[in-house]
């Protein structure tokens, strides 16, 4: 459910409310970074870490870059 929300909300609001779309991606990047930091700190695998690193970090970087231009 979270992934669908993360992808659908920015698409729905990208033209009329770009800040809302950017904020949704902000939640995704914070979630990803906390999972990675937690996994490194505990030296253990976190199930959400792979999704965060492979999917949300690159897409959030792209959205941040696109929002800043």
Supply the mean pLDDT for the chain. Answer: 78
Domain count, the chain: 1
35 contact partners, CB below 8 Å, separation of at least 6: 46, 48, 49, 52
Encoded tokens for 36? 């990675």
pLDDT > 60? residue 1: no
Q: Quick: pLDDT tens for 12-30.
A: 777 777 777 777 777 878 8
Distance separating alpha carbons of residues 15 and 7, to the nearest angstrom: 15
pTM above 0.75, yes or no: no
Name the residue range of residue 24's domain: 2-68
């Amino acid at each position: 459910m979270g992934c669908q929300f993360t992808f659908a909300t920015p698409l729905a609001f990208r033209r009329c409310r770009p800040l809302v779309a950017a904020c949704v991606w902000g939640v995704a990047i914070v979630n990803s970074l906390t999972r990675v930091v937690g996994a490194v700190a505990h030296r253990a695998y976190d199930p959400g870490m792979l999704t965060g690193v492979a999917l949300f970090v690159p897409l959030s970087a792209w959205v941040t870059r696109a929002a800043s231009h």
